[in-house]
Amino acid sequence: MTPPAQQATDAVLRAQLTRTWYPFFGRFGTLTATQRAAIPQILPGTNVLLVAPTASGKTEALVAPLVERYVQPLSGGPRLRLLIVAPTRALGNDLTRRLDVPLRNLGLQLARKNSDAPKLRIDKLPDVLVTTPESLDSLLCEHAAALEEVRAIVVDEVHLLAAAERGDHLLHLIERVRRAALRRDPDAMMQVCASSASIADPAALARRFCGPDALPVEVREGLQRPIDLTIHEAPLIQDAVRHLRSALTTTPDRKRLVFVNRRRDAETLGAALGDLTPPTVHHGSLSKEERLRVERAFQARRGALCVATSTLEIGVDIGDIDEVWLVDPPFDVASYLQRAGRGNRRSARIAVHALARHRLDKLRFEHLDACAAQGRLHEEACPPRPAVIAQQALSLCAQNRHRRIAAEPLWERMAPEARAFWTLGEIQELLREMAAEGWLEKAGATWTLSERSEDQLKRGKVHTAFAATQGVAVRDAVSGQVVGEIAYGAAASLDKGDSFAIGGRGREVLRVEKRAVVVHNTDTDKPGTFLSAAPPSLSRALCEDLKAWVGFPPERVVVRAGTKECTLEHWAGRLRSTLLAHTLQALRRASAKRVHELTCKVSSRAVSLLDKPLGDEHTLRDTLEALDPSVWLALEGTLSPGRLVATVPLSMRLRWVQAALDLPREARWLASLRFTLDDRVDSEDPP
Q: Give the type of residue at 549.
A: W
Q: What is the pTM of this model?
A: 0.87
- Give me the pLDDT at residue 287, please: 79
Per-residue pLDDT of 193-229, as tens digits, reads: 999 987 888 999 999 999 999 999 999 775 567 899 9
The model's pLDDT over 431-460, given as tens digits with 9 standing for 90+, comes to 999 999 999 999 999 999 999 999 999 999
pLDDT bracket for residue 683 (50, 70, 90) = very low
CB-based burial label for 615 (10 Å; 0-12, 13-18, 19+)? middle
Helix axes 617-625, 574-586, angle to 10 degrees: 90
Q: Which of 256, 277, 239, 232 lies closest to 530 in space, CA to CA?
A: 239
pLDDT band (50, 70, 90) for residue 370? very high
How does pLDDT run across 305-359, given as a tens digit for each residue?
999 988 888 767 788 889 999 998 998 898 898 899 888 877 778 899 999 999 9
Nearest-angstrom CA–CA distance, 586 and 579: 10
pLDDT of 504 reads 57
At position 400, the amino acid (one-letter code) is N
Pairwise CA distance, residues 411 & 464, whole Å: 19
Convert the pLDDT of each residue in 56-73 to its tens digit: 899 999 999 999 999 988
The residues pairing with 68 across neighbouring beta strands, listed in sequence order, are: none
Residue-level length of the chain:
687
- What is the residue type of 21? W
Domains of the chain: 4-218 (3.40.50.300), 227-374 (3.40.50.300), 386-463 (1.10.10.10), 471-521 (no CATH), 540-678 (no CATH)
What percent of the chain has a predicted confidence (pLDDT) above 90?
A: 55
Q: What is the DSSP string of 34-59?
A: HHHHHHHHHTTT--EEEE--TTSSHH
For residue 679, the model assigns a pLDDT of: 62
CB atoms within 10 A of CB 621: 19
Q: What is the DSSP letter of 156?
A: T
User: What's the mean pLDDT when you consider all of the chain?
Assistant: 87
Name the amino acid, one letter, at 288: K
